[in-house]
A and B are shown apart, each in its own frame.
Chain A
Amino acid sequence: AQSVTQPDIHITVSEGASLELRCNYSYGATPYLFWYVQSPGQGLQLLLKYFSGDTLVQGIKGFEAEFKRSQSSFNLRKPSVHWSDAAEYFCAVGPPLASGTYKYIFGTGTRLKVLA
């Protein structure tokens, strides 16, 4: 079955500390991989995406993610967290183009709290 697992429901870090949010997926083929951020009551903003190529992907707001095929993981990292990073983060997988399917699967999210 296709699924996305974000094992950490809540994470609390101090401002300036490093951050890693975990994401594991189960999918038949290598999917497209995404991280989105959602502020309260808002829609989802794309942080970064991986389609192919270099397994270390740079995104907006200083975030990066690393695709590890052997571990079926796509973990999100940031070296120094800012108070404005407090939000909910969603990992998602999407089908490769020309696969004939179009459904994206999202994890249940990780809520990040940043301590001043």
Chain B
Amino acid sequence: DAGVTQSPTHLIKTRGQQVTLRCSPKSGHDTVSWYQQALGQGPQFIFQYYEEEERQRGNFPDRFSGHQFPNYSSELNVNALLLGDSALYLCASSLAGEGGYTFGSGTRLTVV
């Protein structure tokens, strides 16, 4: 049974560019949450998607957007990249009505 799959594993982008990160949730899960983990910090909530809609959003600017597809997979898009966007981006899936996440291994984004 596959867990949460994220792609790509690593990514290097230039300031001002746009990036798309992808996530396939654990089989049976229908909810996807995205977190940003800066170096030496705990994960920070970006947003959560359920039934193809953004259900809740954290304190992140509109440059961060997402999408959930009918098969429950999800994308995180970041526009106009800043150096400060360099971080590990974690996708976490869960089943609505049950507490607790399963995390992917993350995408390491470096903005130069």
Q: What is the interface of chain A, defined by CB distance below 8 A to chain B?
A: 4, 32, 34, 36, 41-46, 49, 51, 90, 92, 94, 96-97, 101-109
Q: Contacts A90-B42, A102-B48, A102-B56: A43 and B105 contacting too (C-beta < 8 A)?
A: yes
CA distance A46 to B92 in the complex (A): 11
Q: Is B84 an interface residue, CB under 8 A from the partner?
A: no
A residues near B41, Cβ cutoff 8 Å: 108-109
A residues near B68, Cβ cutoff 8 Å: none
B99 adjacent to A46 (CB under 8 Å): no
How many pairs of residues, A versus B, come closer than 8 Å at their CB atoms? 63
B residues near A102, Cβ cutoff 8 Å: 31, 33, 48, 55-56
A34 adjacent to B97 (CB under 8 Å): no
Interface string of B71-112 (1 = CB under 8 A from A): 000000000000000000010100001111111111010000
A residues near B64, Cβ cutoff 8 Å: none
Q: Contacts A44-B90, A102-B55, A103-B58: A109 and B42 contacting too (C-beta < 8 A)?
A: yes
Q: What is the interface of chain B, defined by CB distance below 8 A to chain A?
A: 4, 6, 31, 33, 35, 40-45, 48, 55-56, 58, 90, 92, 97-106, 108
CA distance A67 to B90 in the complex (A): 27
A residues near B98, Cβ cutoff 8 Å: 97
Closest to B59 in A: A103
B residues near A106, Cβ cutoff 8 Å: 35, 42-44
B residues near A4, Cβ cutoff 8 Å: 42
A residues near B100, Cβ cutoff 8 Å: 32, 34, 46, 49, 94
Give the Cβ gap from B83 to chain A, nearest Cβ, in Å: 20
Q: Contacts A43-B90, A108-B41: A32 and B103 contacting too (C-beta < 8 A)?
A: no
CA distance A105 to B35 in the complex (A): 10
Give the Cβ gap from A101 to chain B, nearest Cβ, in Å: 6
Give the Cβ gap from B13 to chain A, nearest Cβ, in Å: 19
B residues near A101, Cβ cutoff 8 Å: 56
CA distance A35 to B84 in the complex (A): 27
